[in-house]
Chains A and B, each alone.
Chain A
Amino acid sequence: MLSVLIWLPIIGAAIISILPDTIIPKNRVRLVSLTVAFLVLLWNVFILLKFDITNPGMQFSEYLPWNETLGLAYQLGVDGLSILMLILNSLLTWIAIYSSSENTERPKLFYSLILLVSGGVGGAFLAQNLLLFFLFYELELIPFYLLISIWGGNKRAYAGMKFLIYTAVSGALILATFLGIVWLSGSHSFALDAVNTQNLSTTMQVVLLAGIILGFGIKIPLIPFHTWLPDAYVEASAPIAILLGGILAKLGTYGLLRFGFGLFPQAWNVVAPTLAIWGAISAIYGAVVAISQKDIKRMVAYSSIGHMGYILLAAASGTKLALVGAVAQMFSHGLILAILFHLVGIIETKVGTRELDKLNGLMSPIRGLPIVSALLVLGGMASAGIPGLTGFIAEFIVFQGSFSSFPIPTLLCVASSGLTAVYFVILLNRTCFGKLNNDLAYYPKVVWAEKIPALVLAGLIIFLGVQPTWLVRWNETTTSAMVGAIPTAGKIIISQVETNQHQQ
């Protein structure tokens, strides 16, 4: 069941890249890849509907022994933490392919790389074996490097190489930590449920956890390992930026939750205060630097850094509500980032520039881009956390859950949420409102194929903002089980606020 999510995109990539032009002509490649992505999305929704939300353990498990001497086995499973990420992966792949232009150069390579990435990320979210996770984690490096370097902007070679080196270092750190975990704790295989770190000394646990945090921290990204993100997101074309920001960054936070929080319950209390302050600093840094950007794509990239800080704060707090908020924020940030990058991509294609000083008055219904601007306003509001949209739900749960453990970092993150509103108002004010430049305002028409991905995402954002049950019901059981594994002796909780939570 779950293998379909990995192998259908990969088979689709093979079909697109290997079959000759007589069977799949160049102008039909996008349609074929759209079909494959849509089939994967449908299968994913089917799995979502069959998912049992009352079961905290792994569901739909698959096991195939692969290499017993290495301890590598093809073991897949999905639980509350990964089911939403899988849906995000399939949805954003479909959106990214739909968002790509119809005259992309070298379409076969482009779409086969995108489908390969989609299959690889799905495999990483499904893997229940440490080495298998690492395999799928590293599978994305080369496709993304090629996607950024070939179809990107002016500084694409620099951005692609920087991305490659940063993520390769992250992969090396993670592999070293995984090997350390398995060999030092004496497990005989790399399977996730066989690894038990409880008999290691606390120092050793903290050292290994630091390796996990550093490795995944480069991917999330956390300050100061974040500098690959603005360059990579800005130089990548819109569909690649959607995939980078929506899915790849979530691999980092997923890895932190699954392998950091899940494998080191005792050591997590030791590092939690550091992580909470780190998350708050990351959130404020991302928001403050975004205010001074003059390029709208770079502004959205820094906003992504800020929003990932909330996830780190929630993961550090370790309360049930905060973990539910972390997973909710992962999903909602993926949706919001996708709509923002898609719309910024349309603006760049139609208007020709991305600079804040030159863009003006796009809301005009006569010669501007009214629907794109209106959806950009919606995306900006969602990112800033306006109630009624999904961003507010995720942020509110994160803040409510983290306040009992770490009040000061939570307040700093609330301030950063206010700063998010600052730069989005700057963006919307300069871009959408104001006066159109009469001489230059002859923009090509925005066709329906460009509006549909944004409308789908906007519909989801509004729906999840109004009916948040559909965002949180999948992961509540699993995250409660994960939090229950943490020993309560080391946790710092303000008892009054904790009592308030119990009464709800």
Chain B
Amino acid sequence: MSERSPEAIWLMVLPMMVLFGLVLHLPLILQSLSLLPSWTALQKDVALLLIWSSIFGVSISAVIYLGNIPKPIALPWKGLQNLLAYDFYTPKLYKVTIIFGVAQLSKLADIVDRFVVDGIVNFVGLFSLLGGESLKYGNSGQTQFYAFTVLVGVAVLGAWATWPFWSVQFINLVF
């Protein structure tokens, strides 16, 4: 059985190849459109720095990848190697601070929503139901009790509604 190297999907490879060709031809295109600046605009120091950094990078990678350095590459300090290998621990930092914070906040908000806000509503409903259950045993069928309850209720309501008119004398009378 032949082993093929994994291939990327053509939807990725085709645009990449087209762009690859475009990028390689870009200096020629710019030159033919006269868009490149003249040689006098070149800053020699910056150009020299760029060329030397490219040579530096190519030579280091040549030493690492073409030389006999044992792979995987081991830095002298384990801590430094771990820091670089785990991406400065950034995902872990995020997980411990922001993600943990938002998740806890949202769980707290959910508990408040379910038990406090909804709890008040359900408590009122439960209270009404239980109150009805206990009140239903108060039925006696005798009209005089119902008439008396109505009279007491109307009296209490009337007293409450007219409170501003007799409050002063009442308080003076009692206290």
Contacts and interface: CB of A to CB of B under 8 A. Distances in A.
Contacts of B110: 289, 292-293
Interface in B57-112: 102-103, 105-107, 109-110
Given A162-B121, A292-B107, A227 B102 contact: no
Nearest to A302: B113
Instruction: Specify which of A227, A285, A419, A422 lies most central, judged by the most chain B CB atoms within 10 Å of its CB.
Output: A227
Contact of B113 (A162, A227, A291, A419): A227
A288 interface: yes
Interface string A223-266: 11011000000000000000000000000000000000000000
Given A162-B121, A227-B118, A227-B121, A289 B113 contact: yes
Main secondary structure of the interface of A (DSSP, over half): helix
B106 A288 contact: yes
A293 B113 CA distance: 12
B33 interface: no
Contacts of B109: 285, 288-289, 292
A422 B113 CA distance: 19
Contacts of B107: 292
B117 interface: yes
Interface string B112-130: 0100011001000000000
B121 A289 contact: no
A227 B102 CA distance: 22
Nearest to B111: A292
Contact of A292 (B103, B118, B121): B103
Interface string A282-294: 0001001111110
Main secondary structure of the interface of B (DSSP, over half): helix
A226 B114 CA distance: 11
A224 B106 contact: no
B40 to A, nearest CB: 43
Interface string A211-229: 0000000000001101100
Interface residues of B, number: 11
Interface in A275-315: 285, 288-293
A289 B107 CA distance: 7
B34 to A, nearest CB: 37
Contacts of A223: 117
A291 B98 CA distance: 13
A229 to B, nearest CB: 11
Contacts of A292: 103, 106-107, 109-110
Contacts of A288: 102, 105-106, 109
B55 to A, nearest CB: 43
B102 A291 contact: yes
Contacts of B118: 227
B117 A291 contact: no
A26 to B, nearest CB: 37
A215 to B, nearest CB: 17
A251 B102 CA distance: 33
A499 B107 CA distance: 43
B117 A224 contact: yes
A336 B46 CA distance: 53
A226 B109 CA distance: 14
A289 B117 contact: no
B102 to A, nearest CB: 7
Contacts of A226: 117
A223 B117 CA distance: 9
Contacts of B102: 288, 291, 419, 422
Contacts of A291: 102-103, 106
A103 to B, nearest CB: 34
Instruction: Specify which of A162, A224, A292, A419 lies most central, judged by the most chain B CB atoms within 10 Å of its CB.
Output: A292
Contacts of B113: 227, 285, 289
12 contacts: A223-B117, A224-B117, A227-B117, A227-B118, A285-B109, A289-B109, A289-B113, A290-B106, A291-B106, A292-B103, A292-B109, A292-B110
- For the complex of A and B, 8 pairs with smallest distance between CB atoms: A291-B106, A292-B106, A292-B110, A289-B109, A288-B109, A227-B118, A288-B106, A292-B107
Given A285-B113, A291-B102, A292-B106, 14 more contacts: A223-B117, A227-B113, A227-B118, A285-B109, A288-B109, A289-B106, A289-B109, A289-B113, A291-B103, A291-B106, A292-B109, A292-B110, A293-B110, A422-B102
Interface of B: 102-103, 105-107, 109-110, 113, 117-118, 121
Interface of A: 162, 223-224, 226-227, 285, 288-293, 419, 422
